[in-house]
């Protein structure tokens, strides 16, 4: 029998190894895997997301699950997105009573212990911001059909709850076969970032927020893209 310390080091990917693209089946597989590790887990399906509740001994923790935004994403991330109840922009450890505003991708190297820390509100602003940055890049790790060939991607840094944080943009491009990320001079102004992108031969008109939403900041000849 594994110790608590060893259980925490189990990769989440092991609990999802037989998961299917279907959200219900994937959530069920994950719940079954966590149950098998000694965390009684209940699954509640909502309209287009699922809620998992884990008994971790002294309390229960909750998180939401959602399907990936697009198929064919990099194997560097897990095949589900997770969402939490947030407070001051970081997981609060409180119950997930409604659909989370933000769902993030987790690295394939993420462990059960790290997930429990997130769901329990035991993570720092810097750690969660790093996870949001990973998620932002992973969401665009594969070419997207019927989508512009360039977009700005918001990336952030935040050291503590007392700090609002700093943001800047990276340039994402696709050619139908592969995608690339390009570093830009740090600025929070998408118009300034777009000018530098034009010097590289691209004309982005939208940017991706850390929440996952796309914002049109510059109308095209055909109108607002999104």
**Residue 220: is its pLDDT beyond 90?**
no
| Contact in structure between 153 and 140 (CB atoms under 8 Å) | yes
Amino acid 221: pLDDT: 54
Q: Tell me the pLDDT tens digit for each residue of 172-199.
A: 999 989 999 999 999 999 999 999 999 9
| Contact in structure between 32 and 104 (CB atoms under 8 Å) | no
pTM of the model: 0.92
**Residue 222: is its pLDDT beyond 70?**
no
Lowest mean pLDDT among 91-105, 127-141, 212-226: 212-226
Q: Tell me the pLDDT tens digit for each residue of 128-167.
A: 999 999 999 999 999 999 999 999 999 999 988 888 789 9
Q: Which residues of 106-124 are buried (b: 16+ CB within 10 A; e: fewer)?
A: bbbebbbbbbbbbbbbebe
**Residue 20: is its pLDDT beyond 70?**
no
Amino acid 225: pLDDT: 45
Per-residue pLDDT averaged across 37-58, rounded?
A: 95
| Contact in structure between 75 and 68 (CB atoms under 8 Å) | no
């Amino acid at each position: 029998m594994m110790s608590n310390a060893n259980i925490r080091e189990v990769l989440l990917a092991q609990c999802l190894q037989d998961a299917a693209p279907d959200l219900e089946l994937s959530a069920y597989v994950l719940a079954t895997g966590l149950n098998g590790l000694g965390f009684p887990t209940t699954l509640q399906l909502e309209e287009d997301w699922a809620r998992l509740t884990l008994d971790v001994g002294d309390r229960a923790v909750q998180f939401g699950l959602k399907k990936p935004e697009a198929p064919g994403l990099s194997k560097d991330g897990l095949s589900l997105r997770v969402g939490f109840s947030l407070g001051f922009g970081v997981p609060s450890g409180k119950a997930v009573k409604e659909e989370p505003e933000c769902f993030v991708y987790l690295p394939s190297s993420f462990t059960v212990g790290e997930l429990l820390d997130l769901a329990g509100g035991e993570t720092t602003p810097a750690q969660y911001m790093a996870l949001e940055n990973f998620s932002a890049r992973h969401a665009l790790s594969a070419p997207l059909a019927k989508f512009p060939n360039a977009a700005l991607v918001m990336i952030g840094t935040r050291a503590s709850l007392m700090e609002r944080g700093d943001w800047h943009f990276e340039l994402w491009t696709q050619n139908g076969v592969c995608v690339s990320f390009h570093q830009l001079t740090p600025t929070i102004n998408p118009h300034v970032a777009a000018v530098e992108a034009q010097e590289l031969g691209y004309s982005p008109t939208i940017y991706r927020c850390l929440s996952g939403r796309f914002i049109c900041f510059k109308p095209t000849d055909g109108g607002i893209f999104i």
